[in-house]
Structure 1
Amino acid sequence: MALKLITAPTAEPITLDEAKAHLRVEGTDDDAYITSLIAAARQSVESLTGRALMSQAWELALDEFPRSCAADYRSLGRYQAAIDIPMPPLVSIESIKYVDTAGVQQTLDDSARQVDDYNAPARVVPAYGTTWPAARCQPNAVLIRFACGYASAAAVPQEIKAWMLLRIGMLYENRESVAAGVTLAELPHVDRLLDAYRVWGA
């Protein structure tokens, strides 16, 4: 499984004014630097939690479709044919393309699959009574393009924004990894703000 970023976010969960208010900065000299810290903090949250904060598009590549039968579900209590879609919250599945056994790329019809967004990450499964089509077993034979992220900055949980502001403050005040001979350490009690939003096992 591999992920490729198709469309990066065009907005951030925290505005420049919000970050400057937290930092108690009134001038504009550091605006570009603070803006870069906002993006860095957002990227750190996405890496630590496995979530997408703002609207973005990704492509998930698989070497083949998963296979299953009804017996798998009865014995294991889970849908073996499900494909987990990373970077929740999922907005939509834009397309599922695959290379068929003849080596021709096909686009799966929307009616041939079903999305379960009750889970985080969401998952996509074959439509009821069907199975995934036969795909050539080769690198990146299956490409799933999807949109993800919270609907707006206002929808991003406050705990995540609080963590971002604390990280921005630390990076702004400490511009080197070692200050006065002391190595800057992570603060576990601060990272606990993200615990409820980590996508475990994603």
Structure 2
Amino acid sequence: MGLRRTTEPGVEPVTLAEAKLHLRVDSDAEDAKIVGLIKTARTDCEFRIGRTLITSGWTLTLDCFAQLAELPMPPAISITSLKYTDTSGAEQTLAPSAYRVDLSSDPARVEPVGGWPATASVQAAVRVVFTAGYGESPDAVPSAAKDWILLAVGDLYANRERSSEKVKVPMDFADALLDPLRIWG
């Protein structure tokens, strides 16, 4: 299974103004740095909770239809296309009437109407292009995620020389902010 973001969000869940207020920064000299920290914190937040915060595009690749049950990185908004490599090696696009998507499930579930078509025995034989996220506005993002991002930006900003691969938000309660948003299992 492979998952790749194909369209970046148009905005971040936390605005530059919100981050600067949180950091108590009045100057514009480090705006570019702070914008980068917001993106880093958002990406880490999404990884930790297994969700997409702002509407963006994704491509899920699977070796066969049997692996397709749920769409990762919820909440799913829609499936743009569902393509597969048939047994003769040709790419086919499955008609939307050939499958059902339950967008009310979290994560969204996908099932065939009747049965899935046969695919070639190749890697990435099935490709699902879909859109996910809470919306296109920062206002749509759960406040707990936004609060965590602000704490992470603050930690990254204060400790920018630290050699670390992961955001280390201080205080255990900060990570607990994300617990209600996590995909468990």
Q: Distance in 1 between matches of 2:74 and 2:116?
A: 23
Task: Report the counterpart of residue 70 of structure 2 in structure 1.
Answer: 84
TM-score when normalising by structure 1: 0.85
Task: Report the counterpart of residue 16 of structure 1 in structure 2.
Answer: 16
Task: Report the counterpart of residue 199 of structure 1 in structure 2.
Answer: 183
SS of match in other structure, 1:125: strand
1:118-129 matches, cutoff 5 A: 118-127=104-113
1:14-93 matches, cutoff 5 A: 14-66=14-66, 83-93=69-79
Instruction: State whether structure 2 residue 158 is matched by structure 1 residue 170.
Output: no
SS of match in other structure, 1:177: coil
> Among residues 60, 82, 88, which one is paired with 1:96 in the alignment?
82
TM-score when normalising by structure 2: 0.92
Instruction: Give the drift of 1:187.
Output: 3.1
SS of match in other structure, 2:27: coil
Instruction: Give the drift of 1:118.
Output: 2.6
Question: Residues 131-171 of structure 1: CA distance to partner in whole angstroms, max 9, x if unpaired?
Answer: 11111121000000001111121010001111111111111
- Across the aligned residues of Structure 1 and Structure 2, the Cα RMSD in angstroms comes to 1.5
Q: Distance in 1 between matches of 2:68 and 2:100?
A: 10
The sequence identity of aligned pairs, in percent, is: 47
Q: Mind listing any 5+ residue stretches in structure 2 that lack a counterpart?
A: none
Question: Residues 101-124 of structure 1: CA distance to partner in whole angstroms, max 9, x if unpaired?
Answer: 111111000001101123221111
One-letter amino acid of the counterpart of residue 113, structure 1: Y
Instruction: Give the drift of 1:186.
Output: 5.1
SS of match in other structure, 1:85: coil
1:107-146 matches, cutoff 5 A: 107-127=93-113, 130-146=114-130
- 4+ runs deviating over 4 angstroms: none
Work out whether residues 155 and 170 of structure 2, in 8 Å CA contact, stay in contact via their aligned partners in 1: no
> For this pair of structures, how many residues does the alignment match?
180
Q: Distance in 2 between matches of 1:51 and 1:185?
A: 19
Q: Distance in 2 between matches of 1:160 and 1:28?
A: 25
Whichever of the two has the greater Rg, that structure is 1
Q: Distance in 2 between matches of 1:114 and 1:45?
A: 30
Instruction: Give the drift of 1:188.
Output: 2.2
SS of match in other structure, 1:91: strand
Q: Distance in 1 between matches of 2:182 and 2:143?
A: 14
Instruction: State whether structure 2 residue 171 is matched by structure 1 residue 187.
Output: yes
Work out whether residues 152 and 169 of structure 2, in 8 Å CA contact, stay in contact via their aligned partners in 1: no
